[in-house]
Amino acid sequence: MTRAAASGWRLLLTLVLWVVLGVAAGAATLLPLRLLAAPWLAHHRADMSAVLIAEAYLCLLAALLLAFGGLRGLRDQLGFRYTSAADIGVALLVWLAAIVVGAMLSAALAPLIGEPRSNAVSLLRQSFDPLFIAVIVPTVCLLAPVCEELLFRGALFGWLRRLLPSPAAIALTAAVFAGAHLLPTLFPVLFVFGLGATWVRERTGSTLNSFAMHATQNSFAVVATYALLSQGS
C-alpha cells in the first residue's frame, strides 16, 4: 500500500497555523460577547466552552488544509480517501479488539496509575442545554475524530514513516496520540487504540479507515455517557 508523503515542515506549519488561527478565532468570539452580551456569557459558560472546543478543531482543520494544499492534499498527502468496505470492516474489528485489550491493560495497571475515568463524563455533564448538545455532540463524534486522524495518523505518522521502520513509527505515533490527551489514567486505552488505528493506516494507506474507528469510539462513548447521566450516575 502506497503511503502518503507527509513532510515534517508541513506538520510544523500546521501546528503554528493552528495556534495563530485558534488565538484569532477565540479572541474574535470572546471579545464581542464580553462587550455586548456579558450577562448571557455569564449564564452560558458551558455553551461557550462547547463553542470554543468546536472552534479549536475547526482551526486545526483549517490549518491542515492550508499546510497540505487543500482537499487534494488531505487526500494525497494525508491519505483521507476511501479504499474499500472490507477495509472499513477490518478497521471496526480492530477497534473492538483495541477496546478489549485496552480495558484489560488498564485493569492491570490500575494499581499503579489509578482507575481510568472517561473524559466524556466530565465534558458532557457540564450542561443539557440544547445549544451545548447541538455543538458538542457533532464536535466529539465527527469533527474531533477527523481532525485528530488527519493530524496524528496523517501528518505525524506520514512523516515518521519516512524516517523509521513501520513498527517504530506506529508505536511512536500511538504514544504521542495518547500523551497529547493529557489523561494519564486513560493512557493505556488511548495507546492501544492508537496502535490499532495507526496499524490500520499503515495497512490500508487511508486515514478515512482510522477515522471510522475513531468516530465509532467517540460516538460509543457519547451514547454510553448520556445513558449513564440519564440514570443519574
The pLDDT value given to residue 2: 42
Triad 64, 75, 92: Cα angle to 5°: 100
What CA–CA distance (Å, rounded) separates 74 from 58? 15
Q: Which three cell numbers stand for residue 210?
A: 482510522
**Helices 187-204 and 166-180, axial angle in degrees (round to 10):** 140
Which of 92, 128, 88, 131 lies closest to 226, judged by CA? 128
The pLDDT value given to residue 119: 84
What CA–CA distance (Å, rounded) separates 94 from 106? 18
Q: Which three cell numbers stand for residue 10?
A: 508541513
H-assigned helices in the chain: 8-36, 38-43, 45-68, 70-76, 85-113, 119-124, 130-138, 144-148, 157-163, 166-180, 187-204, 207-230
What CA–CA distance (Å, rounded) separates 62 from 14? 9
Q: pLDDT tens digits for 98-113?
A: 999 999 999 999 998 8
The pLDDT value given to residue 1: 46
- Which segments of the chain have a pLDDT < 50? 1-2
The pLDDT value given to residue 54: 98
